[in-house]
């Protein structure tokens, strides 16, 4: 089942504080038109895995699910919420958030052409500033926007005790956070799988980001790429 490694991370987080996770949607049908990747929806297996993922979440007083405006992320959010609800834990689908989407891709047709041409190496070209900003925003700008959204939501009060925020998004978005926050490159860790992601938890004066067995703490506020980090 997809998502088991992320569930292990979620359940290893400190019990005394709320948490947030940026995760990729569940398994989708293949993208047949690279110039419009928004059309691919979940497979039946993906929907079942997303519901099973939600049913395995434990240890929280409530769960909120945010999602990208793209349909497969909405489908994933609904399936996860059904799984959480089956456990008796209160769950809320907050709704679509532009910050979780792909509106930073300014030219879908050209981005699609370049991904077909370069494959996964497109990401390295993008991160190193070799893709024109008229095609896609800089990775640092994208990460800052997504972290601003995550931290704002994480800081909201919760009357139901420990809360988990799930932000259902896309592989590129989480790959950006995984590398810029945790220092994990896709060339080393592999492409981000379905229902995989990066977990975040607040710590004194900062935010801790965790992917697998690697955790990095950065102070708040910070500027990506310039703030000191504490690794473990």
The domains located in the chain, with CATH, are 4-102+146-231 (3.40.50.1240)
Nearest to 97 by CA among 28, 37, 146: 146
Question: Which one is predicted more confidently, 39 or 64?
Answer: 64
Check residue 136 and give its pLDDT. 96
* Cα 110 to Cα 64: distance, rounded to the nearest angstrom: 35
What's this model's pTM, rounded to 2 decimal places? 0.91
* Cα 43 to Cα 34: distance, rounded to the nearest angstrom: 18
Nearest to 110 by CA among 118, 100, 99: 118
pLDDT digits (tens, 9 = 90+) for 178-218: 999 999 999 999 999 999 999 999 998 789 999 999 999 98
Q: Is the pLDDT of residue 229 over 60?
A: no
Confidence of residue 223 (pLDDT cuts 50, 70, 90): low
Alpha helices, H only, the chain: 4-11, 44-55, 71-86, 108-118, 121-127, 139-154, 171-182, 186-189
Query: C-alpha angle with apex 92: 216 to 195, nearest 5 degrees?
Result: 45
Q: Is the pLDDT of residue 227 over 60?
A: no
Give the mean model confidence (pLDDT) for residues 17-36.
86
Dihedrals φ, ψ of 81, to 5°?
-60, -40
Query: Which DSSP string corresponds to 41-90?
Result: -B-HHHHHHHHHHHHT--S-SEEEEEE-SSHHHHHHHHHHHHHHHHTT--
> How deeply is 133 buried, as exposed, middle or buried, from its count of CB atoms within 10 A (0-12, 13-18, 19+)?
exposed
């Amino acid at each position: 089942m997809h998502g088991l490694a992320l569930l292990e991370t979620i359940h290893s987080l400190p019990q005394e504080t709320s948490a947030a996770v940026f995760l990729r949607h569940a398994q989708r049908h293949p993208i047949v038109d690279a110039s419009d990747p928004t059309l691919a929806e979940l497979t039946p297996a993906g929907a079942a895995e997303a519901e099973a993922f939600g049913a395995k979440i434990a240890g929280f007083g409530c769960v909120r699910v945010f999602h990208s405006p793209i349909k497969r992320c909405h489908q994933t959010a609904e399936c996860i919420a059904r799984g959480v609800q089956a456990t008796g834990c209160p769950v809320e689908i907050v709704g679509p958030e532009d910050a979780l989407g792909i509106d930073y891709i300014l030219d879908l047709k050209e981005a699609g052409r370049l991904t077909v041409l370069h494959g996964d190496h497109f990401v390295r070209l993008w991160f190193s500033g070799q893709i024109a900003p008229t095609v896609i925003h800089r990775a640092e700008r994208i990460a800052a926007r997504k972290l601003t959204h995550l931290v704002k939501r994480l800081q909201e009060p919760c009357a139901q005790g420990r809360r988990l925020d799930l932000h259902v998004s896309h592989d590129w978005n989480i790959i950006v956070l995984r590398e810029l926050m945790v220092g994990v490159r896709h060339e080393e860790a592999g492409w981000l799988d379905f229902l995989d992601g990066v977990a975040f938890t607040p710590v004194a004066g900062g935010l801790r980001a965790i992917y697998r067995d690697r955790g990095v703490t950065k102070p708040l506020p910070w500027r990506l790429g310039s703030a000191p980090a504490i690794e473990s």
